[in-house]
Amino acid sequence: MLSATRRRLVEGLRVAVDDAGYDRAIEDSDVELEAFDDEEKGEFSTAVSFAIGADAGENPMAVAGDIADAHRAHGLPEGVSEVSVANGHINYHLDPEAMARLTLETIDGEGDAYGSRERADPDTIVADVSSPNIAKPLHVGHLRNTILSDALMNILEERGHDVTRDNHLGDWGTQFGNLLHEYVEFGDEAEFEEDPIAHLLDLYQQFEQRDGMLEDVEEFGALTEEFEAAVADERAHHTAAGKEWFARLERGEDAAVDRWEQFREASIERFEGVYDELGVDFDRWLGESFYAREGWTDGVVEKALDEDVAMRGPDESVFIPIYDDDYEDAGDPEAASVDASLDRAREMVDEAGSVEDADFDAFYIVKSDGSTVYGTRDLATIDYRVSEFDADQSVYVVASEQNRYFQQLFVAARKMGYTDVRLEHIDYGMISLPEGSMSTRGGQIVTVREVLDAADERARDIVREKGRNVEDDDIEPLARKIALATVKYGMVAANRGKDITFDIDEAVSLEGDTGPYVQYATTRAYSILDSAEAVPDVVDIDPSLFNDTDYDLIYHLGRYPLVLDRCEERYDAAPLAHYLLELAHVFNSFYHKNRVLDAESAAEERLALTATTAQVFENGLGLLGIETLAEM
C-alpha cells in the first residue's frame, strides 16, 4: 500500500498540475516519503513547485498554492485527508488508518534497513575512537568513550556515511622515554611476563611519584644545601635519562624501539581482550607513533615553517601562534576565518619581551630539545586523513578535558590550510570517582575489568533468581549479555556533555530505566510472536480495528528515523537510547491493555504490530551494540 498510495498521489499530482495549467511530466520520484510524525510536512510531499516555478518564471509558493487548489477541486486521492502548502512544498497528510498501514508496511518492507539512509554523496568520516594510552589499563573513562563512539559510528554508518574507526593509540611521547628509562633501571622481566600492564603501571607511577617528591623538596628547600643539591641532581638525572630514551626512540635505535614495541604489543593484546568482550571493532589502529615513525610529523613541521604559519622561538622550539579572534567557529570549515600571518605574533613578542608573555596562545609543534609533541601528531593525523582518505570529516570522540586543546588544534589546522575538512570534537563529560577525580598517576582508577566483572555478577544473580526457562549452562552467557546491556545503555543514555561521578553499584544496577528493560520488552514481543499460530502479513490487516493505544505505539514506531536524524545532527547516541526506553514503555502498556494473544478483536492486527515493534527494537538496540534475547 506504500506503493499504492504513492501511485495514487503521483497520478493525482499529474492531474492537478495539468488542471492548474502547467506543463510538466511528473515522475514517481517527485513524490517523497517523509518521516511520519512531522505534522507540518505530512507523510508525503513534493517539491515540483520549485522546478515548475523555475521553468515558468513564477514564485514556487504561488505555483504550490495553485496545484493544491487544483487537487482539492478534483477531489483528494484515496487515503489522503488533507493537502497543505508550506515553504513552497506541497504536503499530503494521510488519514490515521492510511497512516497506520503506511507505517507498518514501511517497517515490514524495509526490515533491518528501517531507519537507514542511502546518500548520493556520503561523507567520508574518519573518527578517533577509544584511543587509550598504552602501558596503562583501560578505565571507566575509556569505557564511556568506547561505548559511546561505537554507537555513534554505527548510527553515522546507518545514515549512509562512509565511516573509518581509528583507534588513535597514545603510544608516542616523552612519557615513553621515561618509562623506558624506568624499565631499564628498575624493571623486572619476570614481573613484566606475569602481568605486563600492572608492571608498567607500577613503573610509570614510580617515576611520576619520585619526580613529584623531588620537585616538592626542591621547591620547599631541604635541611642542608648538600641534600638540596643531591635532590636536584637526582631529579635532573631521571628527567634527562627519560628524554634521552625518547630521543633514541625517535631516532629509531633498536634498544629503544624493541622494548617499546614489547610494551605496545602487550598493551594492544590486553586492550583487544576487553574490546572483544565489549563487542567493538576498529578499522585502523594507527596510533600516534605511526605519524612520527612514518615521517608525517616531520612533514607537517616543515610545511608549517615553509608556509610561514609557524615560527621558531629563541629556544629553538617551534609553535603556531593563535590569536584570540582565531577561536571563533574554528571547527566549522565555512565559518573559519583565521589569521595565518606571523606579523602580529612577532610584534606581540617584541612588545612583551618573550613568547610566554606575549598576547597569544602558542600551539607548540616542536619542543626546544627538538622532539615533537601530541599536537604535532594530531596535525600530522589531519594531514594524513585529508591526503590519504580524502576525508570530509575528521571527528574526535575525546573527553571534554581536552576542549581547549582541540580548539587550538583546529585553529592551527585551518592556518595550515586544511579548510575543506570538517573538524569536530565530540566531547563527553569527565568521569570522576566519589573520592575525587581519577588519575593513573595517583593510582585512583576503576578499570573496565572491574566494571564488567561487577555487572556480570549482578546479572548472574538475577538470572539465577528470576530466569524462567534458563538452563544452568546458559546462565553465564545470558548474564553476560544482560550485563553488557546495562553498562552500554547507562553509558550512552547519560547526557553526553555532563561530568559523571561514577558509582559502580548504580552503573551495574538492573533496576529501572536500563538496557535490560528494553531487552526485556523485546523478549516479550518475541514470546508473543512465538506463541501465535501464525503472524499475519501486514497487507492483510484491517487498520480500522486499531484503538488509541495501538495508534500510540504506531506513532512511536514511525518516529524512529527522525530520532536517528537527531542523533546524527548532535553526534550523540543518547536520543536513540531514550527513544528505545520510551518505546519499551509504550509497548508494555499496549501489551497490558490489549492482551494481544487473547484479544477479543484485532488479534491479527496486533500481532502484526508486535512483529513490527520487535523489528524496531532490534534495529535500535543493534545500533547501540546491545543484543536482543530470545529468552530472559
Among residues 398 and 584, whose Cβ is nearest to ligand ARG? 398
The Cα–Cα gap between 631 and 519 comes to 10
Among residues 166 and 250, whose Cβ is nearest to ligand ARG? 166
By CB under 6 A, is residue 331 in contact with ligand ARG?
no
Q: Which residue is nearest to ligand ARG (CB)?
A: 170
Q: How far is the CB of 163 from ligand ARG (least distance, A)?
A: 16
Among 36, 204, 384, 396, binds ligand ARG (CB under 6 A): 396
Question: Residue 450 burial by CB count (10 A; 0-12/13-18/19+): exposed, middle or buried?
Answer: middle
Please tell me the count of residues contacting ligand ARG according to CB under 6 A: 10
By CB under 6 A, is residue 144 in contact with ligand ARG?
no
Considering only residues 152 to 181 of the shown chain, the ones binding ligand ARG according to CB under 6 A are 168, 170
By CB under 6 A, is residue 131 in contact with ligand ARG?
yes
By CB under 6 A, is residue 392 in contact with ligand ARG?
no
Q: How far is the CB of 590 from ligand ARG (least distance, A)?
A: 44
Q: How far is the CB of 374 from ligand ARG (least distance, A)?
A: 7
DSSP 463-511: HHHH-SS--HHHHHHHHHHHHHHHHHHHHHHS-TTS-EE--HHHHT--S
- How is residue 543 annotated by DSSP? G
Question: Residue 545 burial by CB count (10 A; 0-12/13-18/19+): exposed, middle or buried?
Answer: middle
> Which of 46-54, 125-133, 197-205, 218-226 is the region at the interface with ligand ARG (rule: CB under 6 A)?
125-133
User: 574-596 in b/e burial notation, b at 16+ Cβ within 10 A?
Assistant: bbbbebbbebbebbeebbeebeb
Number of Cβ within 10 Å of residue 233's Cβ equals 11
Q: How far is the CB of 402 from ligand ARG (least distance, A)?
A: 7
Assign 3-state DSSP to the chain and report helix, strand, coil percentages, each to 5.
60, 10, 30
Torsion angle defined by CA atoms of residues 359, 361, 365 and 366, in that order, rounded to the nearest 10 degrees? 50
- How is residue 112 annotated by DSSP? G
Q: Do residues 136 and 204 make contact, with C-beta atoms less than 8 angstroms apart?
A: yes
> Which of 49-57, 88-96, 127-135, 298-306 is the region at the interface with ligand ARG (rule: CB under 6 A)?
127-135
Residue 263 is which amino acid?
F
By CB under 6 A, is residue 132 in contact with ligand ARG?
yes
The Cα–Cα gap between 227 and 229 comes to 5
Q: How far is the CB of 181 from ligand ARG (least distance, A)?
A: 21
Q: How far is the CB of 237 from ligand ARG (least distance, A)?
A: 28
Q: How far is the CB of 382 from ligand ARG (least distance, A)?
A: 9
By CB under 6 A, is residue 427 in contact with ligand ARG?
no
By CB under 6 A, is residue 398 in contact with ligand ARG?
yes
β partners of residue 366:
318, 372
**Strand 318-322 and strand 361-366: pairing?**
antiparallel
Q: How far is the CB of 132 from ligand ARG (least distance, A)?
A: 6
> Which of 45-53, 128-136, 296-304, 593-601 is the region at the interface with ligand ARG (rule: CB under 6 A)?
128-136
Q: How far is the CB of 389 from ligand ARG (least distance, A)?
A: 15
DSSP 264-285: HHHHHHHHHHHHHHHT---SB-
By CB under 6 A, is residue 146 in contact with ligand ARG?
no
Among residues 317 and 381, whose Cβ is nearest to ligand ARG? 381
The Cα–Cα gap between 422 and 45 comes to 31
Among residues 376 and 522, whose Cβ is nearest to ligand ARG? 376
Among residues 327 and 374, whose Cβ is nearest to ligand ARG? 374
Q: Do residues 331 and 422 make contact, with C-beta atoms less than 8 angstroms apart?
A: yes
By CB under 6 A, is residue 378 in contact with ligand ARG?
yes
Residues lying near ligand ARG in the complex (CB under 6 A):
128, 131-133, 168, 170, 378, 381, 396, 398
